[in-house]
Structure 1
């Protein structure tokens, strides 16, 4: 009799301890998450995903070059620009020429740089606008200017390498460096090809162009698929190639828990779950798939159908994959940068853990009982 009482006492104490201390788990239960909603005096809006929500939240950051970039026409590869370096050779049809000096008919002006305003200075011809002209047109202008000073001058204009005719490419390019704008590389697609393409997955490559104080960014795929994004380049452009740094976090009863980078411009909730091995079949509650997000105020107002939302809001989007269209909802829901994808444990999992703990406790009770005997 004493042994039975002792065994019962130990068993009750063990069960009480299990209930008081709790059992290990992968995160909060579905009920605990829902209890934090605004409706239950929490600080988070909880919203069930349906077709209306998918349509409202279907937002992917769109990149694109500004209108000033897109409307700029192609420059001729031989057009002179500020920063170019020119070389001039002038032949005069007289001995002791005006520029050549005593006994000479030929004079050379080398390393003649076009200033920031586009001008060069030539003795006896004055300050001449070079930018925007081809070497041939500049030759004609200089000839006309010098004709009033020396008879029948012959002028040769050669454009040397200069910062006005080049662009710089850095980042995840096949070959970083400074490249001259040529016939085949007047647009960004041609220039990227000249630089050896990109060293990251083209689906997640972003291209930034900095022109003076203005910059624009576009997806590499858009540059090749959308003609308006394949912008004409200008001398001095700086091109930066980067890999998309967006990521989401997956936690809870999934096949894996990690911070997962985007591998394409758009990722759905269903794709996000699959990227971490899907739902853990022995733990996950398919009725408890949650997307935790700091939602923008503009989208939050539409989702909640309220006008009194001035700031960004904490939102929890809930999906039940067991519903007839649950998988379709998850397939259409767009994940955004910084989202947390959380899958709660099924209710029976905690019951199993409790029974296992009790069973283990009962074994311990038997051991204690044997010791007592």
Structure 2
């Protein structure tokens, strides 16, 4: 009995002292959570550690929805028809008989019939003006050809006999969209057809890979939105009308995350531009290992801007001298023992280059150590038995 107690005490001491030296797939839950309190002398960057709850999930989900193009739809349907600086206009004027203003000077037919004169092509200057005989400078920028015609006729009525005018955009240099794709870029003119996002994709020659791997980035002024091309094709609300000056970029960068720790498989996993939630990511690698994983220790490691952190974390980092646009290493922790986590998994977005890590359970570490200690003894006993037989 004394020997048994002594052996038991030795095993306990070995468990307490030796578990930390066992091979493992990564840090345990306590060490990961301790990143936010690590000592300053350790030469690693500061880390933001965020526990996932309903408030955090709502903010992340709303940020993902904020990349939608639907709210960029415009109700001003005439902007593509408006004249702008650099456009070339063709202006033709008529005067009914007897022609008073354009009769003898501009036409050889005679003053007894209607007269027509075509002006030289007029380039809209930077002030939005063109020059018309007898009228001088006429402001045309931001106006449709029909409205310009009305204004010219209105001013000529005081000088000409029943004047008429026709204005046509001969060359559109102001209402264009820049479309960029790997290996090719174009400037697509906008017309009264009111071209949309998918029209621009077709104009540049489509995509050079599968639709599921392409993201569409729309830059409009200071606003930049990125959505999956697959989403645009499936949701008509995302296929918005383009506006002059828009820049549409087709991004074909492959997306992937890395799965590590007590999961079914440790590997890099590609996913489509449409995105993936954390539940799908864990399922894609076979889920958590029942005998090894710590359900309280599901972590997502990523670099992200301070502006994406919860308000309390933002204040802490701003106090350290960071600004909202600076990237910081961030660890999100989800506790799968909380029943609410099954809903949170469906709304937590996985980002490109994320690391999804599940720590080992403490019991798994002890079992691993006991197997490490006793397996040589058991193997030796089996060998002796084999020899005896």
Q: TM-score if structure 1 supplies the norm length?
A: 0.64
* Residues 1:239 and 2:248 are matched in the alignment: yes
Distance 1:257 1:284, change over 3 A: farther
The residue aligned with 1:288 is 297
Distance 1:233 1:325, change over 3 A: closer
Report the Cα distance in structure 2 between the residues aligned to 1:143 and 1:244, rounded to whole angstroms: 55
Corresponding residue SS for 1:168: strand
Distance 1:99 1:354, change over 3 A: farther
Distance 1:118 1:245, change over 3 A: farther
The residue aligned with 1:3 is none
The residue aligned with 1:348 is 364
Distance 1:192 1:47, change over 3 A: closer
How much has 1:253 moved relative to structure 2?
Answer: 3.0
How much has 1:127 moved relative to structure 2?
Answer: 0.8
How much has 1:75 moved relative to structure 2?
Answer: 0.7
Distance 1:23 1:83, change over 3 A: same
The residue aligned with 2:105 is 98
* Residues 1:162 and 2:164 are matched in the alignment: no
Report the Cα distance in structure 1 between the residues aligned to 2:340 and 2:165, rounded to whole angstroms: 77
Report the Cα distance in structure 1 between the residues aligned to 2:177 and 2:303, rounded to whole angstroms: 39
CA contact (8 A) 1:253 1:279 kept: yes
Report the Cα distance in structure 2 between the residues aligned to 1:204 and 1:132, rounded to whole angstroms: 35
Report the Cα distance in structure 2 between the residues aligned to 1:230 and 1:162, rounded to whole angstroms: 23
Which stretches in structure 2 are left out of the alignment for 5+ residues? 1-13, 323-327, 384-389
CA contact (8 A) 1:83 1:114 kept: yes
- The partner residue of 1:73 within 51, 58, 76 is 76
* Residues 1:33 and 2:47 are matched in the alignment: no
How much has 1:56 moved relative to structure 2?
Answer: 6.2
CA contact (8 A) 2:217 2:226 kept: yes
How much has 1:342 moved relative to structure 2?
Answer: 0.9
Distance 1:354 1:71, change over 3 A: same
CA contact (8 A) 1:290 1:318 kept: yes
The residue aligned with 1:278 is 287
Distance 1:185 1:303, change over 3 A: same
Q: TM-score if structure 2 supplies the norm length?
A: 0.62
Corresponding residue SS for 1:272: helix
How much has 1:87 moved relative to structure 2?
Answer: 1.7
Report the Cα distance in structure 2 between the residues aligned to 1:89 and 1:56, rounded to whole angstroms: 58
How much has 1:210 moved relative to structure 2?
Answer: 3.2
| 1:163-182 paired onto structure 2 within 5 Å | 163-171=173-181, 177-182=186-191
CA contact (8 A) 1:169 1:239 kept: yes
The residue aligned with 2:63 is 60
Report the Cα distance in structure 1 between the residues aligned to 2:272 and 2:23, rounded to whole angstroms: 31
Q: How many residues align?
A: 341
Report the Cα distance in structure 1 between the residues aligned to 2:180 and 2:243, rounded to whole angstroms: 16
How much has 1:251 moved relative to structure 2?
Answer: 2.3
- The partner residue of 1:183 within 192, 213, 218 is 192
Please list the CA deviations of residues 350-370 of structure 1 after superposition, one character each: whole Å capped at 9, or x if unmatched: 754774687579989xx9xxx
CA contact (8 A) 1:185 1:194 kept: no
Report the Cα distance in structure 2 between the residues aligned to 1:45 and 1:80, rounded to whole angstroms: 51
Which stretches in structure 1 are left out of the alignment for 5+ residues? 1-14, 368-373
* Residues 1:123 and 2:133 are matched in the alignment: yes
How much has 1:334 moved relative to structure 2?
Answer: 1.5
RMSD: 5.3
CA contact (8 A) 1:290 1:316 kept: yes
Please list the CA deviations of residues 255-308 of structure 1 after superposition, one character each: whole Å capped at 9, or x if unmatched: 13327556435x43322212334335675444432234568488545589x989
